[in-house]
Structure 1
Amino acid sequence: MTKAVGGKAVYGAAVGILMLEARFPRIPGDMGNALTWPFPVHYRIVRGASPDRVVRKGAEGTLDAFVAAARELVADGADGITTNCGFLSLFQDELAAAVGVPVATSSLMQVDMVNRLLPAGKRAGVLTISASTLTPMHLVKAGVPQGTPIGSTEGGHEFTRAILDNELELDVDLARADNVAAALALKEAHPDLGAIVLECTNMVPYAADIRAATGLPVFSILSFVTWFQSSLVPPRFG
């Protein structure tokens, strides 16, 4: 006799995603667009956690809300937790301690691993939405090596402003141009750059453009969570 044992509220989606409360457009490729993923995911919006509050204000006063939302995702059936903002590396330890399942808060957690993939004399750099508020603590919490090159879209015309000001409209062509220009500037400033890690989950739609313009491997939250998810589901073979 085959016996089925329950325990989850929802089955078939191993990854739970903690979402900022935002209204800007989530185009295909964006982490918050469910069509981006080649597998089902759970979403949970953390009320009051706006892009401005999390990125510009250090996520002040939001930890308890993120912990509660993560616990709800696990109760509903998530086997692993991630977030849709690289700046939430600040909460990596607290979330991992609170939920009892694997937690991958930030794309920044890939940097050290990417360094190990590169030839001698090459290193990964980070492209962020806000270099002015990406603190040493964000990097330490994600295990990013000291001295890692940092580039930013902060000086651009569209991307940083539209996302962090939570605007209702996004000029996708201008946002793409901001990302490509920032990546090229990062490469020019650091001749030893061997790869780029996208801190911001909203940069994923432009990853292919960045790869084409720079000629460098580009790692994002999509590559990170796809790897992460593969560890949470039964192997296809064996």
Structure 2
Amino acid sequence: MDWKGTLNNQQDLQGIHQVPATPFAGYAIGIIAVDLKYPKLPGNVANATTFSFPVLYEVVEFEIEQLFAGAGEIEEQIIAAAKKLESRGVRAIVGACGYFGHFQQVVADTVDIPVFLSSISQIPLIKLSLKKTQKILTLVASGEDITPEFFQQSGADLADCVICEIGSLESFAPIRWGKTKLDNQRLTDDLVATVKQQLAENPAIGAVLLECSDLPPYACAIQQATGLAVFDFITLINWVYTAVVQRPYYGHF
């Protein structure tokens, strides 16, 4: 793909550019999202106002439990979604659920652009920042589907983490089961309390990772309550975006 499509100033518009022939342009990040109905607050990966740049969604339709389990029958639909996003000119593809990580390698082998389907792909880098004895508290939506093999698909080591399931929280139920009414303050309080309890029980925790794409709206509250670095899908997506849309620097010296 020819990346001459980045225009930096008005003078650039006068040049000759070869760019992908697509119905629309300017979407660097493509997001594969499951068709789920529930309140999606700013900060949620499925809320486009979360981002300071345009994103392009491709919706897949299957039960979220199939994604949690990495069911083989949904693989082709996920691959097709990735191919469609690539054909529309995105420069990188991410998932809107950490459990898309089941399909990280097969999708990366299928397309010719960077693929980061799960927030847990950040674990090796987070671990590098910590003491050897420290762990990463990882909040997940479905604890029963967390296995070493699942983590390995995203280049992560389960042994580096303390896993905490939040999918069973009553305040998380509207997200987990697709309801239209969400008590946001209650969920915020429950998540903060959960993290504080984990820290009290596990002094070795040195950072927090939010696996679920619905949890970034609560990252700030968790950080304010703990003082720890909090990583999530948005830290991942912003990092990927800056890599695939590099910009020139202006200033003086």
Give TM-score scaled by structure 2 length.
0.87
Aligned to 2:103: 91
Listed as ranges, the matches of 1:37-116 within 5 Å are: 37-48=51-62, 50-55=63-68, 57-116=69-128
Aligned to 1:179: 191
User: Which AA in structure 1 matches 2:60?
Assistant: V
- Judge conservation of contact 2:167–2:176 (CA < 8 Å) in 1: no
Name the SS for the 2:30 alignment partner: strand
Pair 1:121-2:133 in alignment: yes
User: Which AA in structure 2 matches 1:95?
Assistant: V
Deviation at 1:119, TM superposition (A): 3.7
Deviation at 1:18, TM superposition (A): 0.2
Runs (5+) with no aligned partner, structure 2: 1-13
- Judge conservation of contact 1:29–1:204 (CA < 8 Å) in 2: yes
Aligned to 1:149: 162
User: Which AA in structure 2 matches 1:158?
Assistant: S
Match of 1:18 among 32, 41, 52: 32
In our comparison, the structure showing a higher alpha carbon Rg is 2
Pair 1:236-2:231 in alignment: no
CA pair 146-43 structure 1, distance change in 2 beyond 3 A: closer
Aligned to 2:49: 35
Aligned to 1:191: 203
Pair 1:5-2:18 in alignment: yes
- Of all paired residues, the percent bearing the same amino acid is 28
- Judge conservation of contact 2:147–2:158 (CA < 8 Å) in 1: no
What CA deviation, in whole Å up to 9, does each residue of 1:16-52 have, x standing for no partner?
000011011111110110000011111110122x323
CA distance in 1, matches of 2:201, 2:143: 15
Name the SS for the 1:236 alignment partner: coil
Runs (5+) with no aligned partner, structure 1: none
Name the SS for the 1:223 alignment partner: helix
Deviates more, 1:111-120 or 1:21-30: 111-120
Deviation at 1:168, TM superposition (A): 2.1
Instruction: Give the count of matched residue pairs.
Output: 235
CA distance in 1, matches of 2:135, 2:147: 20
Give TM-score scaled by structure 1 length.
0.92
Name the SS for the 1:183 alignment partner: helix
CA distance in 1, matches of 2:145, 2:48: 28
Deviation at 1:81, TM superposition (A): 0.3
- Aligned-pair Cα RMSD in Å: 1.7
Deviation at 1:167, TM superposition (A): 1.6
CA pair 156-75 structure 1, distance change in 2 beyond 3 A: same
